[in-house]
Structure 1
């Protein structure tokens, strides 16, 4: 049976997922944050950048933001996972990036290292509890993620994915500022100085999704962030461009396996 719990933490840049996935399968999607998943039981299978991967208990999956992937249980019995959703800027601050344009990355997609797994599992448990002092909850994430970054982190330059006369990131910034608006294909193609046909073809080739599917995911990812920050479901629906809460709730549950009201 599928069971998913989302938790906020005292740090707005870090949230938690504690899940048992059995039948629920993630279609191709991306996140706005780093998702660091600790497999605690069972096995998961996923596709990423044209390759297929399997992960099991004791392994960590470090999925960067904006990267397409899917995921489902390899076994009928399902798999259990504890996930940290971490704002990229928070990790950048942890790495103390000095130069403009630098970005944090990790040199392994799958980490099998008990000396990193165990502290992160304990951190996940601690952040979900209410019996820690405020200072402990503030400090523990830095300690927990520092070891992961020290061993497997890397620094690099943020690379822009060109799209006509703009980049995918420029397009993302434009859409984030207009999520509540009825975006037209002509607007996006003009922004990139491409014809609508060229824009659709180039976008799918560069990103791996249609513009409509990519925007739909962007809206839901932003919706998740707003829910975690305490904004009510009806207001979230309006802010990200859904006509009403019913349509938003249906799309949200199909994407994340839970209803908006279950995000705490």
Structure 2
């Protein structure tokens, strides 16, 4: 499987160019992100329980911590995608009231926007930083993609701060024990809830199951450590894996590429 990935970072967040064939399991990211299909197999996505189809004139928009997955056919060439991960502070600063939400996964993509996306991808595929695209131009492009409907403007998406103090306590415990893979039975007892009640309240508060939320924390910590240059064996153990191969499979299923490929991409910066 061909797995090139390039990353471009800026004040807006980061852009990833990724070519994948394997399925993504249901997962979530703390950042809002936008997926632009450039070629190959587009696959089929599920975003927040809704089927979503990417195409030449349609990007996929995903709100912060919104669960999503991506399935690909068993044969065929990999799909090539340009993905914008949008920094929360940057995004909120550009919206009235400091809040933002996409009202659905399908985002119209104009001809000029697609041409800009192709231009960025070609420069990244060539191993170059797109120096001829100024930071202003890239931010302007990212900003043009964030067009919520009037119904969604001002709507607050969940940002990880649960209303129920028991769920806040449980999340804090999960963050502190991200590498220990805490027992959810123990977490539920610690916050004074039965396991079924804990799972129900957690999902009602966060829109995620405890398992998916914990895996989100593990991926975030893995990315941080990969960018800092820590050895893969250390990272695997730190986020709860006894075997590096199991960690690599887990990372690939959530990010789309191996940890080694992601680390290599960290050298591509704006």
TM-score by length of 1: 0.75
What is the aligned partner in structure 2 of residue 144 from structure 1? Answer: 141
What is the aligned partner in structure 2 of residue 72 from structure 1? Answer: 71
The 8 Å contact of residues 5 and 16 in structure 2, kept in 1 or not, is answered as: yes
The 8 Å contact of residues 17 and 84 in structure 1, kept in 2 or not, is answered as: no
- Local SS of the residue matching 1:104: coil
Unpaired runs of at least 5, structure 1:
none
The 1:155–1:143 alpha-carbon spacing in structure 2 relative to 1, beyond 3 Å, is same
Farther off after superposition, 141-150 or 189-198? 189-198
The 8 Å contact of residues 6 and 15 in structure 1, kept in 2 or not, is answered as: no
Find the aligned partners of 1:9 and 1:149 in 2 and give their Cα distance.
19
The 8 Å contact of residues 6 and 18 in structure 1, kept in 2 or not, is answered as: yes
The 1:7–1:226 alpha-carbon spacing in structure 2 relative to 1, beyond 3 Å, is farther
Aligned length: 255
More strand as a share of residues:
1
What is the aligned partner in structure 1 of residue 91 from structure 2? Answer: 91
The 1:26–1:220 alpha-carbon spacing in structure 2 relative to 1, beyond 3 Å, is same
Find the aligned partners of 1:199 and 1:138 in 2 and give their Cα distance.
45
Find the aligned partners of 1:40 and 1:181 in 2 and give their Cα distance.
39
Deviations 1:130-167 (A, max 9, x none): 3544x955433312112223576833334578675434
Find the aligned partners of 2:84 and 2:129 in 1 and give their Cα distance.
20
The 8 Å contact of residues 103 and 155 in structure 1, kept in 2 or not, is answered as: yes
Find the aligned partners of 1:74 and 1:39 in 2 and give their Cα distance.
16
- Local SS of the residue matching 2:140: helix
**Superposition deviation, residue 238 in structure 1:** 4.0
Find the aligned partners of 1:28 and 1:221 in 2 and give their Cα distance.
15
Q: Structure 2 matches for 1:8-47, cutoff 5 A? A: 8-11=7-10, 13-21=13-21, 24-41=22-39, 42-47=41-46
What is the aligned partner in structure 2 of residue 106 from structure 1? Answer: 102
TM-score by length of 2: 0.74
Unpaired runs of at least 5, structure 2:
265-270
Deviations 1:42-72 (A, max 9, x none): 4432223333232222321111221112212
- Local SS of the residue matching 1:19: strand
- Aligned-residue CA RMSD (Å): 3.5
Looking at both structures, which has the greater relative contact order when contacts are Cα pairs under 8 Å and sequence separation is at least 6? 2
What is the aligned partner in structure 2 of residue 189 from structure 1? Answer: 188
Find the aligned partners of 1:47 and 1:151 in 2 and give their Cα distance.
19
What is the aligned partner in structure 1 of residue 53 from structure 2? Answer: 54
Find the aligned partners of 2:169 and 2:122 in 1 and give their Cα distance.
37
